[in-house]
Amino acid sequence: MAITLYGIPNCDTVKKARNWLDKENIDYQFHDFRKDGLESAQVEQWIKELGWETLVNKRSTSWKALDDNQRQNMDANTALAAILESPTLIKRPLLDNGKSRNVGFKAADYEHILKA
């Protein structure tokens, strides 16, 4: 099972997830979406699977930097464009285990997802 963890290296929650994966000896690839970029089709699939409301981090500085009109009128299409322009809008980390995608980090969730 190929596991990819998406995020940015300086995010505290991403660091916690990476530390947990390392401690549990789980092999994964880290994808820095600032440095490595994101594909439109990939983000579109995440939005379809998770919903833009789950994928977008409304507590992020990137969300707060959007103007009121963008925030109030956000939908799947505008979320796609906004994420491609500013990938840090994505709630971090995003874990892809090849079967499902999950956002955020809780050790119990990772335990269930990766060791079930």
Of 115, 85, 88, 102, residue with least CA distance to 10? 88
Catalytic site residue from 3, 11, 38, 84: 11
Rounded CA-CA distance 74/102 in Å is 21
- What is the band of 115 on the pLDDT scale with cuts at 50, 70, 90? confident
Cα separation, 38 vs 41, whole angstroms: 9
Q: Is the pLDDT of residue 1 over 80?
A: no
Contact predicate 25/52, CB 8 Å: no
Quick: pLDDT tens for 2-45: 999 999 999 999 999 999 999 999 999 999 999 999 999 999 99
| Active-site annotation holds for 11 | yes
* H/E element, 103: strand 101-103
Global pTM? 0.93
- pLDDT, one tens digit per residue, over 55-107 is 999 999 999 999 999 999 999 999 999 999 999 999 999 999 999 999 999 99
Query: Angle CA(45)–CA(56)–CA(41) in degrees, nearest 5?
Result: 20
pLDDT of 116 strictly over 70: no
CA 51 vs. chain centroid, Å, equals 12
Q: What integer pLDDT is reported at residue 37 of this predicted model?
A: 94
